[in-house]
Structure 1
């Protein structure tokens, strides 16, 4: 809300923002025009800022206008909206436009909402994570921690906040058997990366304005987090919110590291090379399936106010009905790709996502196993995943499972001297970062973090 002495003002930000500190001083001013800023939905998933001009009457009854503003402020203050944010901007990710996006599109909206912001431009990898884990950084003085960047930057903040929270509460986060403590602080992401899968999955669009509006309005939802551990050691590798990929997608991300100068196009180039190579990996996957969790082939899509996610939040995980007894299986074979999607993982490279029916807060990850097949068949899988309305899960060499936990072991063979080595090992693509350890144990923690987001809204064009 702002006081504009000139009715023809066109700027998004006006010089006088009516917050709690300035509103009493403003009552002595002659208010001729006040703009009331609000958000409206545009298109299928977007939001934008609009304003309503309130003009004093011909008798210059500005006291009535001021009282009206005061009443509006009282109503707004009744909502749980952030008043102070810690923002990290990654100037290196994606198309290297994060800083401009923040300065020109995001900060003006934060200023309109009278939000106090501490902004840090990161200078190196894990800069934000190191700061968040520093006990001298008082996270309890902020209402949210926001990243302006891509999925890798968001994962960095996620790991810093989660490890800090477990450490502060004396929880052994290295053990996959530990029950994790949910952070009190809410996270947020302003999309400015190469894929922006977290933004797509939680708002339906990778629009910085839409994500900024969700933050200032205090829209929140809880999302799942996958904890990735060493299989043979009681040690955490990292936390993940969106994607794990072994084989094709792991090799692609590893190969792309040498071509960062290419920007997002490096993923396309690396993907083409790995498709031509068509390398298979032997391994064993152990998983348990609970009937009540549904299947990645189900028809229901996760939207805001999702019933399935609401039920998962209320469900007591260690008290299963007899009908919900898990069916545990072990699968051995040769695989082109092993993918786990905790979110849909929708991005510019996949129209509907790696797993279009994945849910934000059902406590599960969708496990996708692509077994040995021809190059032509694998191309069909990639094309269906990227752009087709046909489901890739209908292909006879693709198996999908909705699981809360799984374990992967690369197949090993004896060598001289009694040693054992992997027949052929790939690496894991974990939210865009390379994980060299092939043998892992993954456990999903239901709705572990709170995120500023609207969820996927269902509205007509």
Structure 2
């Protein structure tokens, strides 16, 4: 019996070898679970590439391969009074070829045999399980004929080679310190086996310190890769996004100062959730699920996503998708000071302490409302700065407990509908959510609403705007800082400073911050998710 690697849930599938006794093939699954839409007739408008008989789930089946799908029907002899030919049953199963990501010859091997006895062909495919979750599955086509299987195997390989969006080589960046230091285990036990089955080459770098991925992606050669994959939490993913976009600016010769019209990232990015909150992965895939994220990468599901630039008057600070200033920034600053705690303890402690010391920030907030007119969108698509397209800036002043600026929904376990549920990944706008000064009990009520089906914005002290640009200027910033405007980001921030939470990355800024939205600036592996999870989740710390 061949030895299997411990902990790998698909190790036995990597070479498609079987034990001495051939097991039963997987039973057929109803066609509605294999693909969207009702099955069509096998030859209805589709040229038949191959047709043959295979055993599927202990039943002999008539199998038809067309340009779009693999279809099969069980066959059985007609009754004695009928003619002596096979009568096809009407129930048909099928798999769309776009859902298949690998095909291998299935063999039974023994110690004395080198290649083993051919049993048939195994198809590896992507199956939609529930909501936005994906699952890998297999289908065995049993036939002992070498010539018959060789013809089908070659044809299936040729079809799979035609899916050009699917990556052949990936650069993997793995943060071993994410969450409970589980990222390494997650990758080698759940991600790597699937990538091997799909035949994807990988080059893995384990990051050793904060900023390692940034320095690496600035200099390393990426021409041989089809994409970059980050295995870690929101902070790790944010760093890789920032690094890929900085590299794109450098390669395009764009000055690294105050970037008005950034250049798109050259390679798509895949995010494998292995952190504490996994807001980015959850927002891009609809669920924080390792196998789902991996299958989106393997299948080459690519979606363009809007990105924001965070700048001062003198320099670019960061590329990112979302930011919080005030309560959200101070909570992250407190959590970063207590990294010796477990992730859940650290989060709950930071929230409770930030609520105990809750205080408003005195700010001026200027914003440019989102204009969805066709003329404006065409100007933006041509690279014209949004501020030059219209002059409708608005301003709100006062004391604010929290300011959120989000270009993505920001889904997470404690906010299943999202911190900004009205946003989309690439509609050219951001949500500006302002929470004015109020009592601590009322603010806590607002926070608790994120974990329920109730509207978290239905409070008199909460204001929401759909915007394209935002400027946040604390009124008392100059009295607290003697440093130069646009100071470099710090690892931690003091309780009297102005910390920003940008995609889980702590940034300390000593001046006003200008946030601009740039449509479809990076491609990410995933699909557009419109259905939000309405399940009720509560936060223990509140």
Q: Is the 8 A contact 2:104 2:122 kept in 1?
A: no
Instruction: Give the paired residue count.
Output: 417
1:91 is paired with a residue of what secondary structure?
A: coil
Among 300, 305, 324, the alignment partner of 1:218 is 300
1:222-371 matches, cutoff 5 A: 222-230=304-312, 232-233=313-314, 235-241=315-321, 243-265=322-344, 266-292=346-372, 318=384, 325=390, 327-371=392-436
Q: Residues 375-416 of structure 1, C-alpha deviation per residue, up to 9 Å, x if partnerless?
A: 12101110112x12121222110111111111111113997x
Greater shift, 79-88 or 257-266, is seen at 257-266
Alignment of 1:7-26 (within 5 A): 7-8=22-23, 18=104
> How much does 1:132 deviate?
0.5
Q: Deviations over 1:261-293 (max 9, x none)?
A: 223221211111111222111010111113428
Q: Distance in 2 between matches of 1:157 and 1:460?
A: 27
Cα distance, 1:316 vs structure 2: 5.1
Give the whole-Å Cα distance in 1 for the aligned partners of 2:205 and 2:523: 21
Shift in Å, 1:204 = 0.8
> Is 1:63 matched with 2:78?
no
For 1:82 and 1:453, how far apart are their aligned partners in 2? 13
Q: CA deviation at 1:184?
A: 2.1
- Of 432-441 and 243-252, more deviation after overlay is shown by 432-441
Structure 1 residues 68 and 29: alpha-carbon distance in aligned structure 2, compared to 1, 3 A threshold = farther
User: SS where residue 231 of structure 2 aligns?
Assistant: strand
Task: Please list, as runs of the form range in 1=range in 2, the aligned pairs for 1:138-177 lying within 5 A after superposition.
Answer: 138-177=221-260
Instruction: Determine the structure 1 residue equivalent to 2:507.
Output: 435
- 1:176–1:443 contact (8 Å) kept in structure 2: no
Gaps of 5+ in 2: 1-13, 26-101, 106-114, 486-495, 535-542
How far 1:191 moved relative to its partner?
A: 0.4
Aligned to 1:401: 465
Partner residue of 1:45?
A: 132
Seen in structure 2, the aligned counterparts of structure 1 residues 219 and 313 have a Cα distance that, compared at 3 Å, is farther
Whether 1:116 and 2:184 are equivalent positions in the alignment is: no
Structure 1 unaligned regions, length at least 5: 11-15, 20-27, 294-307
1:186-220 per-position Cα deviation (integer Å, ceiling 9, x unaligned): 11000001111111111110000000000000000
**Contact in 1 for aligned 2:133/2:287 (Cα 8 Å):** yes
Counterpart check, 1:74 vs 2:146? no
SS of residue matched to 2:518: strand
Output the aligned Cα RMSD: 3.1
Greater helix content: 1
Q: 1:449 aligns to what? A: 522
Q: TM-score, normalization: structure 2?
A: 0.72
Q: 1:286 to 1:229 in 2, by over 3 A?
A: same
Equivalent position SS for 1:443: strand
For 1:124 and 1:8, the matched residues in 2 are separated by 47
**Does structure 2 conserve the Cα–Cα contact (< 8 Å) formed by 1:38 and 1:51?**
yes
**Higher RCO, 1 vs 2 (CA within 8 Å, ≥6 residues apart):** 1
